[in-house]
A = this chain, B = another copy of it.
């Protein structure tokens, strides 16, 4: 693939503007509102939390993505989640969209909304409206503007997350950029993941939606920090067609090129969320091969990165393979424990741990050294079939507990 990684985020593609500003929604002196706009109508695809309890902005966005062909803008605040806020919360969404639409000269239903933060509080509408005034004034297409937006959606993430790539589609350079915020719940009640991706590719809404659904299953849905699925999880992908490529309306080579690049951006954003999990010191990448079906491969990989005991063992740099075999065992997938093959890999080397139903007599010191890297790969071959999947998580540390036991403030 002729993909190239470039600087920037959501403003890297043509025809997108962004801004990130401080609006004092819940805390002073930090950026807490962001806006991303397309200069022309963009087809939009999305993926949302499966939690029965959905925040008001999630319901607002789901309606637009389902019923409207295009949208123009997303407005995000990272102070208050607007979840468990009843009818009033929905009305605040509408008023937020109305304010942005009026200033931008677009329709209310062209404005999507994102929120993350404290559950149960109502939005301070005046501050939101003042924030939108400022966002509309500040928004521009510079890379800095995209970075400002990436910073403004952070809650307690320790690192800003953005990425951009170019790829040649139908002879034209197509750019994809994205930002995300992860699972830093340092202030309890903060909600989990938001991700926004922009691209100037010209593609039908139908195919964009299909690509997004496929990619979400292998990226965002394969990360776990603590197993708690938030009320606000949202991914939105905007495609505004400004790259001038021939319209992608079939699953041809152009589609595949674009989808691979879109996958890269989303996998990167998802991995960075796992790596920046609350209190984490190490990214755990669990690679499963040789599973019977793709679905079972996913179950197996997710079960291991979701195991508190595996996560604590990685934090302790302890090659405690019994816990990994145990987590595979309760994943819900069927397999023969006597066939398994397991090894660890990182920048510090690799080591075979388990084979044919028994642990090997490996060098514990070497294994511990391998587990001391900031990215650790656990590879398991189920030897049952040809299906594979990868999941990402992070280690479990005392800091995770400290962060989440702190009284709300």
Binding site for B on A (CB under 8 A): 50-54, 81, 83-86, 118-120, 185, 188-189, 226-231, 306-309, 312-313, 315-318, 320-323, 325-331, 333-335, 337-338, 354, 356-359, 368, 396-398, 400-408
Are A326 and B51 in contact, CB atoms less than 8 angstroms apart? yes
Residues of B within 8 A of A329 (CB): 51-54, 229, 231
Please, could you name 27 A-B residue pairs with CB atoms under 8 Å apart, sorted by A?
Answer: A52-B330, A52-B331, A52-B333, A52-B334, A53-B325, A53-B326, A53-B337, A84-B357, A119-B326, A120-B321, A120-B358, A120-B359, A185-B309, A189-B322, A227-B308, A228-B309, A228-B327, A229-B329, A231-B322, A308-B308, A312-B404, A315-B401, A320-B408, A368-B407, A396-B404, A397-B401, A397-B405
- Beyond A307-B228, A308-B308, whether A404 also contacts B313 by CB under 8 A is yes
Q: How many copies does the complex hold?
A: 2
Residues of B within 8 A of A185 (CB): 309
When the two chains form the complex, which single residue of B188, B189, B308 contacts A404, counting CB atoms closer than 8 Å? B308
Would you call the interface of chain A mostly helix, strand, loop, or mixed?
loop
- Most chain B beta-carbon neighbours within 10 Å: one of A228, A354, A398: A228
Instruction: Give Cα distance in the complex from A405 to B338, angstroms.
Output: 27
- Most chain B beta-carbon neighbours within 10 Å: one of A120, A322, A330: A322
Residues of B within 8 A of A53 (CB): 325-326, 328-329, 337
Residues of B within 8 A of A50 (CB): 330
Instruction: Give Cα distance in the complex from A339 to B257, angstroms.
Output: 48
Are A84 and B358 in contact, CB atoms less than 8 angstroms apart? yes
CB distance from A229 to the nearest CB of B (A): 4
Are A312 and B405 in contact, CB atoms less than 8 angstroms apart? yes
Instruction: Give Cα distance in the complex from A337 to B401, angstroms.
Output: 28
Are B322 and A52 in contact, CB atoms less than 8 angstroms apart? no
Instruction: Give Cα distance in the complex from A329 to B230, angstroms.
Output: 9
Are B398 and A118 in contact, CB atoms less than 8 angstroms apart? no
Instruction: Give Cα distance in the complex from A118 to B119, angstroms.
Output: 42
Instruction: Give Cα distance in the complex from A309 to B306, angstroms.
Output: 14
Residues of B within 8 A of A398 (CB): 398, 401-402
CB nearest neighbor in B for A188? B320
Are A228 and B406 in contact, CB atoms less than 8 angstroms apart? no
Instruction: Give Cα distance in the complex from A309 to B368, angstroms.
Output: 29
When the two chains form the complex, which single residue of B85, B228, B338 contacts A308, counting CB atoms closer than 8 Å? B228
CB distance from A330 to the nearest CB of B (A): 4
CB distance from A44 to the nearest CB of B (A): 25
Are A408 and B226 in contact, CB atoms less than 8 angstroms apart? no
Are A316 and B404 in contact, CB atoms less than 8 angstroms apart? yes
Are A318 and B401 in contact, CB atoms less than 8 angstroms apart? no
CB nearest neighbor in B for A308? B226
Instruction: Give Cα distance in the complex from A67 to B217, angstroms.
Output: 44
CB distance from A90 to the nearest CB of B (A): 11
Are A322 and B84 in contact, CB atoms less than 8 angstroms apart? yes
When the two chains form the complex, which single residue of B52, B403, B405 contacts A337, counting CB atoms closer than 8 Å? B52
- Beyond A312-B404, A320-B189, whether A230 also contacts B326 by CB under 8 A is yes
CB distance from A128 to the nearest CB of B (A): 20
When the two chains form the complex, which single residue of B85, B231, B331, B359 contacts A326, counting CB atoms closer than 8 Å? B231
Instruction: Give Cα distance in the complex from A331 to B229, angstroms.
Output: 9
Instruction: Give Cα distance in the complex from A51 to B332, angstroms.
Output: 8
Instruction: Give Cα distance in the complex from A188 to B326, angstroms.
Output: 12
CB distance from A333 to the nearest CB of B (A): 8
CB distance from A136 to the nearest CB of B (A): 31
Are A226 and B120 in contact, CB atoms less than 8 angstroms apart? no
Residues of B within 8 A of A226 (CB): 308-309
Residues of B within 8 A of A331 (CB): 52
Instruction: Give Cα distance in the complex from A52 to B338, angstroms.
Output: 11
